[in-house]
Amino acid sequence: MSRIAIVDYGMGNIHSVRKALEAQGGDIFVSNDPALIAQADKVVLPGVGAFGDAMEELERQNLVSVLIEHILAGKVFLGICLGMHLLFDSSEESLGVKGLGILKGQVKKFDPRHNLKVPHMGWNQIKLRKPECPLFKTLPQHPAVYFCHSFYPEVRDREIIAASTEYGTDFASIIWRGNVFAMQFHPEKSQGVGLKIVENFVKML
């Protein structure tokens, strides 16, 4: 069974994410130790909070290089919510702060001119654009999941968008590029659909 590391850098909903992964049979450990994380088969980067604060903590705890090396080595990576944003080049939330730069694009704030409540909070549908994505095994075409965010990634390469969601704009709610997976919503709060996505992640080779 794959050994899965949840990165604890002080910015994530660690307890709920761990419970969801363990409920699906995952061999889980939580750590901020770069040496231990480097030994994991899969890495999960959750996140709640601000882009700039998160990057500051990753850098302070010497976690940036181990995350990038894990991804470049072809090992499976999952970013959740803020953990998805951090994969990109930058964010309007924290101007001048560089992200991990794994994916090309900038994180944008929802446009208030659309007269939508921000943050985007609660249940919304995702539209599966790449049904062959390993996370989607046995999912319906338009499942509902739980969101809580004010920012979303504006993806430069639209080919990596595995699922999208409509909220004033059609934004990327799941990213898939090779061994890299990321989602804007919280699977650990998305009941049966979320747990199925987590199960598919845990069972992924």
Identify which of 53, 47, 22, 8 has the alpha carbon closest to the alpha carbon of residue 198: 22
* Tally of CA atoms within 13 A in the half-sphere of 114 that contains its CB: 13
**Dihedral sign, Cα of residue 31, residue 34, residue 35, residue 38:** positive
The pLDDT profile of the chain, 205 residues, written as one tens digit per residue, is 799 999 999 987 899 999 999 999 999 999 999 999 999 999 999 999 999 999 999 999 999 999 999 999 999 999 999 999 999 999 999 999 999 999 999 999 999 887 899 999 999 999 999 999 999 999 998 999 999 999 999 999 999 999 999 999 999 999 999 999 999 999 999 999 999 999 999 999 8
Active-site annotation, residues: 81, 186, 188
Q: Domain ranges for the chain, please list them.
A: 3-203
CATH number of 3-203: 3.40.50.880
